[in-house]
Amino acid sequence: MYAQVVFSIASFKSFTYKIPTELIPSISVGLAVNAPFKNKLQLGYIVSTTNTPNYKGKINDIDSIYKGQPSIPKDLWQTILWMSSYYVSPIGLCIKTALSTLYYKDYNTKKALYIELNHKVLSTFNTKALSTNQKKFTTNLMKYKKPILASSLKNKISNLYYTIDTLHKKDLLNKIFLSTDNNNLVIMSKTNIQLSKTQKKVFNTILPFIQKSSNTNFLIHGVPGSGKTEIYVKLAQEAISIGKNVMVLIPEIILTTQMKDRFIKYFGSDIAMWHSKMTTREKKQTIKKILSGDYKLIIGARSSIFCPLPNIGLIIIDEEQDSSYKQESPQPYYNARDIGLIRAKYASCPVVLTSATPSIETYYNTVIGKTQHIDLNERYFKSKTPIVKIIDMIKFVHCDDEQTIISPELMEQIKTTLSHNKQIILLNNRRGYASSVFSKEANSPILCDHCNVPMSFHKIFNRLLCHYCDSHKLLSESEKQEPDNIILNGYGTEKIYEFLINKFPQSSIARVDSDSLKNKKILSTILNDFSLRKLDIMIGTQMISKGLDFDNVQLVGVINADYGMFIPDFRSGEKVFQIISQVIGRSGRREDQGTAIIQTYNPSDPNLLNAIKSNSRTFYASNLAERNELMYPPFSRSCRLIFSGEDIGKVNQIANKITNLFSKNKDFKVLGPSEAPISKIKNKWRVNSLILAPKDDPLQIQKFFQNKIGTHALEKQYKHVNIKLDIDPLNML
């Protein structure tokens, strides 16, 4: 018997191995094995078995079964195969993406040292034989009636661990090692969810499909603050009550802490979290508990869709429109939302998509009946819709720097809100101090040495940074000594933060962006402090616009609503509508009516106006009509071809050659090749082509590429040019 084995490499090839007789009963598709590859044993995955090999050369034996592998749910394996086919990605890389978290050989529980006095020995011991420090230590320990964590005494006792060891040898002290797993979990009593009449109606619509294990897609299209979360939490409870497990996908790591806190109220602490910022130990612990059945519910960002949760009864995809679900790098370039839909299909369970601003593709699926549309037009607790004011910033163009950042209207509203002890969220979707730096000496912006983009100035680091390759450079000596030689253009969150600190020195202000968040603990602290009203103002990038729920926020301000408005991307209008709509919804979540102030230089932009006026139906109708005319998704299937390399001549040559092949197919609409909006990143020139195909065959573009060009072109380099095949692209830069 023979097996086709793939490895975690960028190759579409599988390799033939003979299965030793003693292993045949244990062999199955999806199993991890140790097999000789490139002169050493490597971890591989069986993708098929056969009695007759196709390969005619020397065939090696599989060495052994990889012992660290748990069983892979059938629905997950089927999803992996689909991912490889749909995204034209080597199955070995797809398996590595989906299953790498599963392969932990030995799970060793981390122990912490606890100590307690041995009172029986101490009562007869001559304490005069103890040093002053040892006497102090034993006296200190007498206050505790149960074992105490040794590290908690670090600042109270000198030479702590030497003292512990000495007393332990004298039998005066007991050492106890306890598992630190779940140390930070707070066990809470589970509370019931009280749904409104409207929420109950939605709940009762979806519940039968969970009970019947029916693969049906639902979109809960609810205004911000309409109580979408309460509905799907109640649905999750029902699924678990009948023996099913639940997956909840959220787009950003920033949302995990708050989402976990919400779920703990209703499920206790037995909730698994999954995201890329978790430590290896945390992941090990989580996987172990998932496989042992301790966790019935998983909440996580993009990669959590691959967790080996068996018997899935419900998949929830929160903020389904969010671009964070799309993996841009490395391969495979998948969208976790779509993977969730596919996994639900194989698991025979319903999917609940939720959003206040669903993607145009998802909205269209409700129009054609592929997804059931459920409207939630009322805010939870009957809270009032925020008052929205639009500020035309053109009138401040020639004013001082202060007014070009924060208009007098917004400034006055900030003062009023603070005087009422209410909180404020300010959105500016640019980090750093200045978005670009103009050199008078060179008479041009200072560009990145590796990318064809202006560098941003970050005052906190006192240097220029490239937001695409993370390279940095210092200002020249002449620029430092003579600040008039440079002009700082634009403003980021860092400059706004500095400005607010100077204006409101008595207020507590936090900045939320990738520069200020060195680790997840900082973010959790900021969000917790804001929730507890220890912070007055939170200024941040796009990450603060979605999914966060704070009762005391009365004012939301968008510093520059124009960011992203003119990006050469057919989705740019959709993104503006979504961001503005979402951030407006952060204001006035309970009994108080909130205010949202939107600063813009384009107050007549239709997508912006639709967001401000909550005209979602108008927005979707006009955008669908426009896309239909141009044959853009959802009226076609799309693929972005990105050609990159150090030699622009070769890049253009290959781009023209491959794009011309697509142009010969009359079914395709081909745009390009053309220079990418960001023409160079990390020393590689970039050229784009966009392929649009009819919707009938979901694999038409993929099949054409494989037949006419070949998958070998996607492995490493094709004639010194890298080719990226991005199916259903969300980023056109």
Task: Give the tens place of pLDDT for each residue, 337-382.
Answer: 999 999 999 999 999 999 999 999 999 999 999 999 999 877 665 6
| Percent of the chain residues past pLDDT 90, beyond the cut | 55
- pLDDT over 70 (residue 476): no
Give the chain's mean pLDDT.
88
Predicted TM-score (pTM) of this structure: 0.85
Q: How far apart are CA 726 and CA 328, in angstroms?
A: 8
Q: Which residue has the higher pLDDT, 481 or 297?
A: 297
pLDDT tens for 565-602 read 888 889 999 999 999 998 888 887 666 788 999 999 99
Q: What is the DSSP letter of 72?
A: P
Over residues 551-561, mean pLDDT:
92
Bridge partners of residue 219, in order along the sequence: 353, 373
Q: How far apart are CA 170 and CA 163, in angstroms?
A: 11
Q: Contact 12/706 with Cβ under 8 angstroms? A: no
Q: What is the DSSP letter of 371?
A: S
pLDDT band at 118 (very low <50, low <70, confident <90, very high): confident
- How far is it between the farthest Cα atoms of the chain? 97
Burial of 692 (0-12, 13-18, 19+ CB in 10 A): buried
Give phi and psi for 112, each to the nearest 5.
-120, 145
Q: Which residue has the higher pLDDT, 71 or 188?
A: 71
Q: Contact 434/489 with Cβ under 8 angstroms? A: yes
Over residues 112-141, mean pLDDT:
84
- pLDDT over 80 (residue 220): yes
pLDDT band at 184 (very low <50, low <70, confident <90, very high): very low
Bridge partners of residue 454, in order along the sequence: 447
| Report for 389-403, 407-421, 514-528: range of highest mean pLDDT | 407-421
pLDDT tens for 592-625 read 788 999 999 999 999 999 999 989 999 999 999 9
If we measure between CA atoms, which residue out of 173, 193, 158, 61 comes closest to residue 116?
173
Order of strands, sheet of 472-473, starting from the edge strand that comes earlier in the sequence:
456-458, 463-465, 472-473
pLDDT tens for 1-22 read 999 999 988 899 999 999 999 9
Number of CB atoms found within 10 A of residue 670's CB: 18
pLDDT band at 183 (very low <50, low <70, confident <90, very high): very low
Q: How far apart are CA 660 and CA 669, in angstroms?
A: 11
Q: How far is CA 619 from CA 145, 573, 625, in A?
A: 66, 10, 10
Q: pLDDT value at position 188?
A: 39
Q: Contact 274/263 with Cβ under 8 angstroms? A: no
pLDDT tens for 81-103 read 999 999 999 999 999 888 865 55
> Which value, in Å, is the radius of gyration of the alpha carbons in the chain?
29
Q: pLDDT value at position 424?
A: 95
Q: What is the DSSP letter of 71?
A: P
Q: Which residue has the higher pLDDT, 316 or 440?
A: 316
Query: In the numeric block, which tokens belong to residue 318?
Result: 């929160």
Query: In the numeric block, which tokens belong to residue 110?
Result: 């981390």
Q: How far apart are CA 546 and CA 693, in angstroms?
A: 33
Q: pLDDT value at position 70?
A: 66
| Percent of the chain residues past pLDDT 70, beyond the cut | 92
- pLDDT over 70 (residue 187): no
Q: How far apart are CA 368 and CA 694, in angstroms?
A: 16
pLDDT tens for 35-81 read 999 889 998 999 999 999 888 889 999 999 988 666 688 999 999 99
Q: pLDDT value at position 101?
A: 58
- pLDDT over 60 (residue 115): yes
| Report for 130-139, 167-176, 533-542: range of highest mean pLDDT | 533-542
Which residues have CB under 8 Å from 113's CB, separation 6+? 149, 150, 151, 164, 175, 176, 177
Q: pLDDT value at position 333?
A: 95
Over residues 399-406, mean pLDDT:
78
